[in-house]
Amino acid sequence: MSGQEDFSKRKLWGGRFTGTTDPIMHAYNESLSYDQRMWAQDIRGSQAYARALVGCGILTAEERDQIVAGLDRVGEEWKAGKFQAAPDDEDIHTANERRLKEIIGAVAGKLHTGRSRNDQVATDMRLWLIDEAAKLETLLIQLIDVMVKRAKAEIDALMPGYTHLQRAQPIRWSHLLLSHASYLSSDLSRLRDLRPRISVLPLGSGPLAGNPFSPDRVAIAKDLGFLSVGPNSMYNVSDRDFVVETLMWASLTAVHLSKLAEDFIIYSSAEFGFMTLSDAYSTGSSIMPQKKNPDSLELLRGKSGRIFGQMAGFMMTLKGIPSTYNKDLQEDKEPLFDAVDTIGRGTQIATGVISTLEIHPAKMRAALTPDMLATDLAEYLVRKGIPFRETHHVSGSAVRLSEERKCKLSDLTLEDFKTLHPAFEEDVAKVWSFDESVERRDAIGGTSKRAVLEQCDTLEKNLKAQ
């Protein structure tokens, strides 16, 4: 090119190259179509970096103010939906810097001094994830809070508890609900644990070897609200463990939502009839008018596989990358964005389902049968001093006897029980109370009313923990 080169129409990396980029390669290479959602974080990071460049002697205070104000204008365009991408905008960083130059002129070219897109994108992603993690925390808190409130309000509803999907022992409906809330409470704790590892500042690392103009990285971290400063420039630009950890967290949380969904799908079926989903979270059949399908729950169950797939896919991308930044790392954004969006929507759907479903306590209680008190029968003898291994055998014999006579376990007479063990007395009749059975399970974590309310208190304390 003869004469003065037009720097406004070249790529950030274009000085080395004289030919044009294959249009297919440009489309294959670009990330603006999805990383534009980090526009606010990219602007925040650039403004903080501009402030730091004053301390390095690269920018004057006036130039800093020009850049900060110009970036504010770029942000206003994004917020209003008026930002116009240019054909050569490869990513959000290129787009914002190009637009900044159009607004304030050549001084915009000083902003990238000592900075690389390698440390810039890592900073943007961490800032974006810090913001999103706070939103996810709020959504999880809302879900758990709804579950705890229902558990308190419906604490007197009894239902069968299942193992191997076979009726096992009577429990409170609240106890089942809080079992799922406990999984989600652990997810909430794990999400909070992630923050220190997400909130590590990469900015000021340059492309890989560090920044030659020595910006105050501690000041930048404080400016942007990071908890710590990345310790090694090569690590800082290439570390995506925080992405993997978030994907792992989302995968496990999605599995827990899937388990909840599976229980409620089963219990809302006509065969169980323990609950009915709100019309707002159900759909009908295109051919069978009587159908009310639990699509909301089925989607919760199905999307857990999608989220796990995002994690597994990115792990396979990450495992073969050599040190520092490689373009493979561009594959971090779409799985992260999709997983965060999907788990966020799923959490909201679960909150809606649980807050609007109707339970049927009479049907729950009708499903309780005396054989579910066989363990209570064994425990009755334990209280009379007989070893449990012996009482378990006696109770099993009682079950077999009732099956042979084709009657309920509670229909056996005192004389029948005495043929099995002489320690049985008239008070054995008290064993057949489902309410007393659940109340006897009063240890921490049990299904008695006191123990269930204690679980509610524990969960509520975790919601308030910082």
C-alpha distances out from residue 230 to 45, 100, 251, Å = 15, 28, 27
Q: Where residue 18 falls among pLDDT bands split at 50, 70, 90? A: low
For residue 92, what are its two tokens?
């959000």
For residue 401, what are its two tokens?
């006897």
pLDDT at residue 1 is higher than 60: no
287 and 330 co-located in one domain: yes
pLDDT at residue 7 is higher than 70: no
The residue out of 71, 95, 113 marking a domain boundary is 113
357 and 377 co-located in one domain: no
361 and 383 co-located in one domain: no
Q: Where residue 19 falls among pLDDT bands split at 50, 70, 90? A: low
Tell me, what's the pLDDT at 8? 45
pLDDT above 70 covers what percent of the chain?
Answer: 94
185 and 298 co-located in one domain: yes
- 12: in domain: no
231 and 377 co-located in one domain: no
Residues labelled as active-site residues: 164, 285
- Per the structure, the complete domain to which residue 389 belongs is given by 370-432
Tell me, what's the pLDDT at 2? 39
- 460: in domain: no
Helix axes 217-224, 39-55, angle to 10 degrees: 140
**For residue range 61-88, what is the model confidence (pLDDT) as tens digits?**
999 999 999 999 999 999 999 999 998 8
The residue ranking higher by pLDDT, 343 or 25, is: 343
Cβ proximity of 224 and 127 under 8 Å:
yes
Domain count, the chain: 3
- 84: in domain: yes
**For residue range 169-210, what is the model confidence (pLDDT) as tens digits?**
999 999 999 999 999 999 999 999 999 999 999 999 999 999
Average pLDDT value for residue range 335-358: 97
354 and 375 co-located in one domain: no
Average pLDDT value for residue range 31-60: 97
200 and 346 co-located in one domain: yes
- 25: in domain: yes
- Cα-atom radius of gyration of the chain, to the nearest Å? 31
Tell me, what's the pLDDT at 28? 87
The residue out of 84, 113, 142 marking a domain boundary is 113
pLDDT at residue 13 is higher than 70: no
- Least confident range from 140-154, 276-290, 353-367: namely 276-290
pLDDT at residue 124 is higher than 90: yes
Tell me, what's the pLDDT at 286? 67
Tell me, what's the pLDDT at 311? 97
Buried b (16+ CB within 10 A) or exposed e, 107-130: bbebbbbbbbbbbbbbbbbbbbbb
- 450: in domain: no
Tell me, what's the pLDDT at 345? 97
Tell me, what's the pLDDT at 25? 81
Tell me, what's the pLDDT at 67? 98
- 218: in domain: no
Between vectors from CA 124 to CA 121 and to CA 129, what angle results, nearest 5°? 125
**For residue range 308-327, what is the model confidence (pLDDT) as tens digits?**
999 999 999 999 899 999 99
pLDDT at residue 11 is higher than 70: no
The residue out of 86, 113, 140 marking a domain boundary is 113
C-alpha closest to that of 123 among 191, 10, 14, 215: 215
pTM as predicted: 0.92
Tell me, what's the pLDDT at 3? 42
299 and 353 co-located in one domain: yes
Q: Where residue 220 falls among pLDDT bands split at 50, 70, 90? A: very high
Q: What is the chain's mean pLDDT, rounded? A: 94
- 451: in domain: no
Tell me, what's the pLDDT at 94? 95
- What is the rounded distance in angstroms from the CA atom of residue 204 to the CA atom of residue 217? 6
pLDDT at residue 17 is higher than 60: no
- 338: in domain: yes
Between vectors from CA 289 to CA 283 and to CA 294, what angle results, nearest 5°? 25
331 and 409 co-located in one domain: no
Q: What is the CATH number of the domain that holds 87?
A: 1.10.275.10
The residue ranking higher by pLDDT, 19 or 43, is: 43
pLDDT at residue 259 is higher than 90: yes
pLDDT at residue 226 is higher than 70: yes
Q: Where residue 14 falls among pLDDT bands split at 50, 70, 90? A: low
Average pLDDT value for residue range 37-62: 98
Q: Where residue 353 falls among pLDDT bands split at 50, 70, 90? A: very high
Tell me, what's the pLDDT at 4? 44
77 and 187 co-located in one domain: no
Q: What is the CATH number of the domain that holds 428?
A: 1.10.40.30
The residue ranking higher by pLDDT, 13 or 415, is: 415
C-alpha closest to that of 296 among 320, 327, 264: 264
Query: Phi first, then psi: what are they for 294, rounded to 5°?
Result: -85, 60
201 and 95 co-located in one domain: no
Cβ proximity of 74 and 100 under 8 Å:
yes
Q: What is the CATH number of the domain that holds 307?
A: 1.20.200.10
Q: Where residue 5 falls among pLDDT bands split at 50, 70, 90? A: very low
Average pLDDT value for residue range 426-454: 97
Tell me, what's the pLDDT at 12? 54
42 and 88 co-located in one domain: yes
pLDDT at residue 466 is higher than 80: no
C-alpha closest to that of 341 among 250, 243, 463, 240: 250
